[in-house]
Structure 1
C-alpha cells in the first residue's frame, strides 16, 4: 500500500537520539591515547608520602636545673631576678617560680576538689564538650582515642553558660569546685600581671609591645586548664610525637599566652617550642610554678 505525502502528519516526530560516539581515526592514534591515559592514571594513583620533616620534632634537651626565680625578688624589681627572667624567656621560654604567695595547703585542697570533675560520666560529658563556639568544658574524644588517651582535660573559665551546664551534670560538687578555682585563678592572675609588667618595662620595643599586649589582654580573658595524666605513660618516641601533634593542634587557640603550670606529682615536665623540646625532672611534692 502506497502512502502519499498528503497522508503524513504535519508535525514531524520528535526523535531525540544521542549523537554517535566518536570513532578513532586510526589504530595508531588509539594506541597513543591509551599510553597517555595509562601514564596519567599511574601518576594520579600514587599516594604521596605524608611524613612530617624531622625539624618538626626537634631533639629533646634535658635541663638538669632549670632557672628558678624568687617571686618576691621579682616584685621588688631586683636586678638579678629581672635579668634571670628575661634571659630565661629569650633562651628556653620557661622558668620555675618559687615563693609566689599561694599556700601549698590551698593548692592541694583545690586539686583534690578538682578531681571530681573527671568523675563525670562520658554520657554527661557530651553536654559540656568543647567546640569552636564553646571554648570550655571537656575535650572531645572519638572511638579508639578514648581507650588510648594518656590524659584527660577540662577547661574552666568565667562563663555563666559553663556554670549552668556543669551544675546540670555535676550538681553536688561544681559550686564548691568553681569557688576554689576562682580564688586560685585570682591569685595566679596577680602573679601573671607582675611578670607581664616586668617584661613590658624591660622590653626593647616598649611602646609597640605595650600596645599589643594591652590589646590582647582586653580581648582574651584568663582560662584554667585542668589535666589528669595517666600514671603509666609509654616513654617511646611515638607517644612523644603523638603528644607534640596534639599540642600543635590545640595551640592554635592562642598564638601568644603566658601560661602558669602547677605540677601535682608529675615526674617530668615538657616544654615544646621552635627552639626544641625541653624537659626536666619534677620532685613528687614540688609546688613550683612552671612558666
Structure 2
C-alpha cells in the first residue's frame, strides 16, 4: 500500500532495496550482539583464582599489576568473589548475567544480555541501522499521508489505517531510538561507558573532590576507532574488527589525565601524612602538659 503511492518504478525499487538492506543489517547486528557476547575475564585462565581460602589467594598476573589504574577503596587490586577472577580496568560484575563483563557498558533488556567489550560495536551499529530504518518508514508513510490529504493527488480509496499506524509507530520509535543512539555515540566518542557516566556523576556530586578528567579519553577519533574499527568497511558493516586496541584486559590511558591523577594522589598522601604528624604532635603536647603523678 505505501509503495503504491510512490511515483515511478525506479523510486519504488530503490526504496524497496534500501528497506530490505536495513532490515537485514538490523537482524544481523542483533544476532551478533547476542552470539558474540560481551566478553568475560573468566575466558582468560590467567585471571582465574579458584583458591577456596581468601587468605592464600594468589597474586594477580604481572600484566594486570603494571597496567591497572582502577583499584579498590583500600588501594588493592579488584577481585570478584562471585566469579573468582581478577577484574581488569572497566570490568564489572552483572547480577543479571551472573558473570563479570569486560568493559561493561550496561545490561540491555532488548537483548537479555550485557553490552561489553566484544559486542559494543554491533550494538552501536544496531542502533544506527534501526534509527535509519524507523526514520525512513516515518518519512515514506508521512509522504503518503501528505499526498492523500494535502495534495489530494491520490485517491482516498488508497488510504488505510495501516499507513497511519506505520507513521505514528515509526515516528515514536524513531524519536526514542535516535535520542538513545546519539547518547550512545557521544559516550563512545568520549570513551566512557554508561556505568562510568553514572559513577563519575556520583563522584562529582559527593563534594569530596573535583573533576580530574576521563583517564580513558584518547580523543574522538581514537576513541571511535578503538570500538568501531579503523576502516570505513568496519564502520558501515557488522563485521569483526581487526582492532589493535587489545582484548579488553588493558586499555590505553590519557597521559595528561594520568599525570594529574598521580599529582592528586601524591597530594592526598602528603596531606594524610601531615595530618598524622599533626595528631602525633598534639598527643605529645597533651601528654607533656599533664601534671606529674
Structure whose residues are more often helix by fraction: 2
TM-score tier, shorter chain, comes to under 0.3
Per the normalisation by structure 2, the TM-score is 0.23
Q: Which has the higher contact order (CA 8 A, sep 6+)?
A: 1
Structure whose residues are more often strand by fraction: 1
- Which structure would you say has the larger Rg? 1
